[in-house]
Amino acid sequence: MSSLFTSFKRDGVPSLFFIQIFATMAYAVLYSTIVLYATKKLGLSANVASSIVASFVAFNFTLHLLGGYIGGRFMSFRSLFLMCIAFQILGNVLLMSVSVSSLYIGLAFFLAGSGFNSICINCMLTQLFKKDEDQMRQNAFLWNYSGMNLGFMVGFFIAGCFQLSQNYETLFLLASFSNGVALIATLISWRKLNDVNTHVSESPDNGTQRTVLSLIMSLVVTAALMWLLRHSGFSSQLIMSIGFFTAIVLCVLALREKDKLSRKRLWAFNILTLASVLFFTLYQLMPMALNLFIENNVNRMILSFMIPPQWFMNVDSIVVIIGGPLIAGILHAMHKRGVSANIPALFASGLILMGLAFLTFRLGIYFANPQGLTSSIWVVVGYTLFACGELSLTPIAYSMVGLLAPTKLRGFLMGVTLLYSGVAATFSNYFSRLALADSQGTAPLATNPGYGHTFLMLGSISVLVGLLLIGFVPFILRLIRANPVNEATT
């Protein structure tokens, strides 16, 4: 049992765990509510609402790349995080004015904050550990990922409660309050979260000019987002172009790396990051097609109570909250016996489990009642598989940056990891629209064929790619390990 808490002995880890919970809550509220808010309250079409969510999610992750550049270079990660939280609070306040225009403006300010803050938390957590403390760092990321999902669970629960009454003004107010708690907690833990081996920490000046420049850059990003959120087609093309350009940069970095082991590890990073794009494409369907599917095509009645769509997302959150620390403990016990986690096999397992989740949703549609409504049991089973796949891949993807990235590239490669989640969101929007393309209205019998075809296609592809990746496990392990040791898959 003590192995579950091994990383908590490191000063700063408990603080970031607490900060992560409240920083995530506000994002969870918007993540789970935008598509329903836009369709139910503002009267936008399902396709338009889905495009807004896709742009929101895509830019949230794409901006992490810029955050990785600003953080540690122009501002310390802790200072940048504070500025991000302030932007998120302002965004939530603007969203309280219920209108289409305030939706775009509020989301732009919120994104200018949330687009940077995850990279800040991940980098603050990474620099609490030395280069050779791989297992401790991985343990801490699993704990932190559990804290993130605790924030998601609370955010989803609150969002569901206010969704029933459509009291969005109070909902956005509570979201800004959670950001305020994260801000105060960061100030209290300030000394524990100082930068280590970054441009800012090694610079002799106080960095006032760099701070002002960072603020200007954030305001410019906000103004750009106000326009980009209204033009989702151009936004998708922009994000895909950034993703393609970044892939070229990664290849160039690997080719130019002089150290042999670092070069091999960069290639391993590139392969695993590419595999993760498919996983996150399916994952990002949750606030889009899956949310609309649950709202309109699932029997959500239990006795006389209608379950809000956001509450089904908590199946995923609860499994991750419980499973994160358990996996951290298992990995720690394995490490003590000289057995290392098999990172590529964990990636493959995540893809297979995610594929099985979507095949489960397809089975639910097949066994729908005469009205076309799928039993909520199928959703619960699917989201459980969803969460198991998430545990196998997402926190491992974050923690592998500390293992595979040269020290000076950590912030950039952490941003790249999150950037490709944004690229995946653009694919998610395509498949979300594909699921609704041939339907008229929201009647289950009319929309089930589109959902069923999309779920079957994506689930099958994910399982097949996961099985293919298993075949490449030995090759990837040779790239990662300087001296091969015993490997095991959890």
pLDDT digits 0-9 by tens, 210-261: 778 888 888 999 999 999 998 888 888 888 898 889 889 888 988 888 888 8
Over residues 171-197, mean pLDDT: 87
- For the cut 70, the answer to whether the pLDDT of residue 41 exceeds it is yes
- Residue 333 neighbours by CB distance under 10 Å: 12
Query: Which pLDDT value is given to residue 486?
Result: 45
Q: How many helices (H) and strands (E) does the chain have?
A: 17, 6
- For the cut 90, the answer to whether the pLDDT of residue 184 exceeds it is yes
For residue 467, name the pLDDT band (cuts at 50, 70, 90): very high
Query: Which pLDDT value is given to residue 202?
Result: 59
Looking at per-residue confidence, does 373 or 425 come out higher?
373
For residue 488, name the pLDDT band (cuts at 50, 70, 90): very low
Query: Which pLDDT value is given to residue 8?
Result: 61
- For the cut 80, the answer to whether the pLDDT of residue 397 exceeds it is no
Percent of the chain with pLDDT over 70: 88
Of the candidates 25, 250, 331, which has an alpha carbon nearest to the alpha carbon of residue 158?
25
* 283 Cβ contact list (under 8 Å, min separation 6): 354, 386, 390, 394, 421, 424, 428
For residue 398, name the pLDDT band (cuts at 50, 70, 90): low
Most confidently modeled range among 66-80, 186-200, 381-395: 381-395
Lowest mean pLDDT among 138-152, 172-186, 349-363, 375-389: 138-152
Looking at per-residue confidence, does 246 or 203 come out higher?
246
- For the cut 90, the answer to whether the pLDDT of residue 377 exceeds it is yes
String of DSSP letters for 376-412 = HHHHHHHHHHHHHHHHHHHHHHHHHHHHHS-GGGHHH
Q: To 5 degrees, how large is the angle CA 475–CA 481–CA 484?
A: 90
**In the CATH hierarchy, which fold is given to the domain comprising 2-488?**
Growth Hormone; Chain: A; (1.20.1250)
- For the cut 80, the answer to whether the pLDDT of residue 34 exceeds it is yes
Query: Which pLDDT value is given to residue 64?
Result: 75
Beta-strand relationship, 301-302 and 374-375: unpaired
Query: Which pLDDT value is given to residue 484?
Result: 46
Query: Which pLDDT value is given to residue 131?
Result: 67
Query: Which pLDDT value is given to residue 17?
Result: 87
Query: Which pLDDT value is given to residue 441?
Result: 63
For residue 490, name the pLDDT band (cuts at 50, 70, 90): very low
For residue 302, name the pLDDT band (cuts at 50, 70, 90): confident
- Both tokens assigned to 159: 């969002």
Q: Convert the pLDDT of each residue in 364-374 to its tens digit.
A: 999 999 999 99
- For the cut 80, the answer to whether the pLDDT of residue 130 exceeds it is no
Over residues 403-421, mean pLDDT: 75
Query: Which pLDDT value is given to residue 367?
Result: 94
Over residues 329-338, mean pLDDT: 70
For residue 196, name the pLDDT band (cuts at 50, 70, 90): low
Q: Convert the pLDDT of each residue in 448-462 to its tens digit.
A: 988 999 999 999 999
- For the cut 80, the answer to whether the pLDDT of residue 141 exceeds it is no
Lowest mean pLDDT among 352-356, 392-396, 408-412: 408-412
- For the cut 60, the answer to whether the pLDDT of residue 485 exceeds it is no
For residue 9, name the pLDDT band (cuts at 50, 70, 90): low
Query: Which pLDDT value is given to residue 72?
Result: 65
Contacts 24+ apart (CB under 8 A), 237-241: 239/58, 239/59, 239/62, 239/422, 239/423, 239/425, 239/426, 240/423, 240/426
Over residues 119-124, mean pLDDT: 82
Q: Given CA atoms 282, 411, 225, 157 in this order, what sign does their dihedral have?
A: positive
